[in-house]
Every structure is written in structure tokens, then in C-alpha cells.
Amino acid sequence: MDLQGSGGSEERFSSYVEGLASVIGHADWSGPLRDYCTGLMMPCERKSVEPMAAVTAPARTSAQHQSLLHFVGQASWSDEKVLAKVCEMVLPTLERHGPVEAWIIDDTGFPKKGKHSVGVARQYCGQLGKQDNCQTAVSLSIANRAASLPVRYRLYLPQEWADDAARRRKAGVPGEIVFKTKPEIALDQLRWACAADLPRGVVLLDAGYGNHTGLRQEIGALGLIYVAGILSSTTLWAPDPQPLPPQRRPAGGRPPIRPPRSAKHKPVSATELAFALPRRAWRTIGWREGAHERLTSRFARVRVRPAHRNKLYAEEWLLIEWPKGEAEPTKYWLSTLPEDITFERLVDLAKLRWRIERDYQELKQEFGLGHFEGRGWRGFHHHATLCIAAYGFLISEQETIPPSAPRPVAWLPKLALPADCRPRGATDPNRTSHSKLDRNLATQADPRARQSRATMPLLRTKNSAARLAKLVTQ
């Protein structure tokens, strides 16, 4: 399906939704599908079910709310089939700007309060930059330098959830879902992409995934090439000294596989290796145009062997970034790209992982990826799938949207929420907070309070009323 063909954006959107409806499985779900995707692309502040119902059907908000709630939370359509259809329809547009260059693995977190939302636990949340209560989902995106598209998306279910039958039953976690680490989920997604025969790309991983030696080995076993971030403490065999061949053992014993080590002949950390490189090893290389100027930094590369568990591994590239002005290198990558690849191309591919950051930024800010308010497994994934579907249509339309137009859509009419609509959890505009009420009363009773507000702020305590009375009687 060529979404850039004849007709306007509205016609292409209808055609796009019809394509999704062809795999949704039930004719009655076509209407809610279109309304949900429309709501996700509307320029409203929050993309949860209740405000989207009010925007897409202001004359029958209550009925629309129930319809969308059932469609996203209960209807048994397949996330995998819809995502595969999105990929099928959007891939031709993406490839018009060049072939697929990368498969990007990453995860994203959603801060959550309480403990009842599926998968919520105290874990690292990238959005907050610290450990906190959140949900985390792992995704696989296909990308080139012009665009990227998530093609797989799955919630990480912590061990405490996977082992709790009561919580699983209440959240509707399918029986076949067992505990898997994030690298294991990522590997499943890569295996699916290979089986689906998606256009091959270099697998890009940050240090959270790339530092897992087992994951890198499995990626190689799938016939894929990777550029994987690693930690500065990762041990490597430098070009000098190279690991010695395993020592032979007497006849009858198992053949040795571990390279011998000694005090003078041992692997070093990535940081030690970086500091030992001569000045001539470092080059300033640019990789893409930024908002104001071309992005550049200092890099060095060297052929190394990983030294994990004393096994002898094949040589691969170690890429190091050390920006000017920094006391030490900031990033390290291992890569199985060919030995004859140019320095510039190696840096360019390593830095292409910024595309996943753009994915998540737009999915969260423009399409409400983190706005789902339900607690169940099915609803969490259905909402994410529809956000990705709406994002896929944006990718297919990006050539038609003027630079000054809103990012989600330029052709949908701007609808406003009904005046009496207040989404669940929103502050009642007719209700004034105690601190604001206190200030207003003080200002009306004594003009001096207006002057004292900057120097004598009223404390928000149970005794604020007494303080107010004392102030206005002075």
C-alpha cells in the first residue's frame, strides 16, 4: 500500500486505517480503531481514553468512552498482527529515503504510583534518571538516517510479578508469559525480525544491553552485525599483548580453550586501553547535522578481543569517544563491522542510535505513549500498539507536513474538549486551593497583604487560617 499515492491526507488516513482493520479481526472494531488513532493524533493535552472520547465524540462522550475503553482494554485483537501491518505499510515510505541501516534495541520507562499496574516495580527509570516505581518496555526499531519505526514492543515483567499468580490473574498476564530479562526479550525480538525477513540492518545497542557478552554472541549466531555500547570497565585483549594460545595438555585430557594469563600478560579495561593510545590515534569526526551546527567529537578505534571468562574471542572493533574538554573518554563500543570499514562510517553507525531517542520522544510527547491509565497487560500493549500505528502514519506523511505545522497532523480539525469535561484526576477549575484562597482573602481584606506576599509568604500548614486572621487584623 503506497500511502504517498493519490488523494489527500484524509483519504490516505482512511486507507491506512482500513489496512489496520484488515488484520484487527472484527468488523465492529473498525470504528473504535479509527477513533482511537484519530484521538492519538489530535492536539489535545492528554491522550488517555476519557479525554480522547470527549474530543472524538463530544455529543456522546459517555458512550464513546465505554467503546474506546473496551476496544483498548478488553478486545482480543493481536498486537503482533497490527504492528506487522504497520511495518508493511510504512516501510516503503521509509525506504524511499534510503535502505534500512539499523535495528535498534532499547527500552523506555513510565513512572507509576502504587503497585497494581501490570509490571510496575521499583527499577531504573530513564525518564526520571533514577530508581523508582515504574513500568519498563523493550522495543526493536528499524531505522535509516531519515526515519525509524518500532516494529516490536513488550512489557518487561519483573520476577516478583512473574512469580505472583494472584497479581498475574488480576492484571490478565497470559499464561505463556514467563520471567525474562530485558536482554532475553530483546533477543526474542531480533529472532522474530530475522524470521519475518525484515530488511537487515546493523544491530545497535546501548551499554545496558551491549555489555552482555551472551547477547552479543547470540546476535552473531543469528548472522547479524552489531555496534554495542559497553562499560569502561569491560576487559579486553589489546593489540599488544595479544592473548597467548591455550597451552597443550597431556594426551587424553580435554583440549584447552582458555588463553593463559600472567602478571605481565593479561587483558586490560577499556579505560586503561584508551589512556594508553598515542595522540595520533585520535581523530575529530562529524556524523550528522545538529540543530545549529554539525555534531563532531574525538574518536579512536582499535582492533581488540573481548576477555570475558578467559575465553578466546574473535577480533572486533573497539570504538572510543573522548570529547575535547573531558577528563576521560565518555563512551565505548564493540563492533563486528568489517575490518576494512572506514572510520567515518563506523562512527556514523554507532551514532545512529539517536533515532530511538527521537522515537520515544515523539511517541510520548505527541502520541501519549505514557498516558494509558489502565492496569492490565492487554490494555498496556494495545495502547502502545495504537500509538506506534499513529506514529507510523506520521512517518508516511512527514513529506506533506509543512515545517511550521503541528507535528502530529496538519489536516485534522482542531477540536476542543466540552466545557464541562474534566478528565479523571484533573484539578477542578472551580475549586481554589487553600493557599490561593488564603492569599485572595488577605489581598481583599488588607491591601498591605499584596505588598507583603513576596516577603511574608503564608506557610501551607494547618494553622494557615490563624496566620491569615492575625495578618488581616494588623
pLDDT of residue 243: 60
pLDDT of residue 457: 35
pLDDT of residue 8: 77
pLDDT of residue 386: 97
pLDDT of residue 190: 98
Estimate to the nearest angstrom the gap between the alpha carbon of 43 and the chain centroid: 22
pLDDT along the chain (474 residues), means of 10: 59 94 92 95 89 92 95 96 96 93 96 92 88 95 94 97 96 96 98 96 97 96 98 89 58 57 75 95 93 91 88 91 96 97 97 92 93 95 97 86 52 55 57 46 43 36 35 33
Query: How many whole angstroms separate alpha carbon 74 and alpha carbon 68?
Result: 10
pLDDT of residue 218: 97
pLDDT of residue 73: 95
Domain map of the chain by residue range? 9-206+356-397, 212-239+266-333, 439-454+465-474
